[in-house]
Amino acid sequence: MSAEVLVVRCGLVPYEEALVAQRWLRDAREDGSIPDVLLLLEHPAIYTRGRRSTPEELPMAEEWYALQGIEVRDTDRGGRVTYHGPGQLVAYPIVDLRAYGDDVHEFVRRLERVAISSLGDHGVGAQTIEGLTGVWTEDEPSRKIGSIGVHVSRGITTHGLSINVNNDLQPFEWIVPCGIEGCLPSSLGRELGGEQDFDAFAETVAGRYAATYEREAVSATPAELGLENARLGIA
Among the listed residues 216, 208, 217, the one whose alpha carbon sits nearest the alpha carbon of residue 117:
208
CA distance 138 to 142: 6
Answer whether residue 235 is part of any domain. Answer: no
Answer whether residue 225 is part of any domain. Answer: yes
CB contact at 8 A, 104 and 97 = yes
Give the tens place of pLDDT for each residue, 170-226. 999 999 876 677 789 999 999 999 999 999 999 999 999 999 999 999 999 988 888
Q: Sorting pLDDT into bands at 50, 70 and 90, what band is 2?
A: low
Structural domain of 28: 4-230
Q: Does residue 183 carry a catalytic annotation? A: no
Answer whether residue 187 is part of any domain. Answer: yes
Among the listed residues 121, 120, 108, the one whose alpha carbon sits nearest the alpha carbon of residue 213:
108
Note the pTM of the prediction, 2 decimals.
0.94
What is residue 178's predicted lDDT score, i.e. its pLDDT?
66
Answer whether residue 10 is part of any domain. Answer: yes
Answer whether residue 119 is part of any domain. Answer: yes
Give the tens place of pLDDT for each residue, 78-112. 788 999 999 999 999 999 999 999 999 999 999 99
What is the number of domains present in the chain?
1
Cα 216–Cα 221–Cα 222 angle in degrees, nearest 5: 120
Of residues 178, 202, 206, 232, which has the active-site annotation?
A: 178
CATH number at residue 87: 3.30.930.10
Question: Residue 161 forms beta bridges with which residues?
Answer: 91, 148
Helix/strand/coil for 84: strand
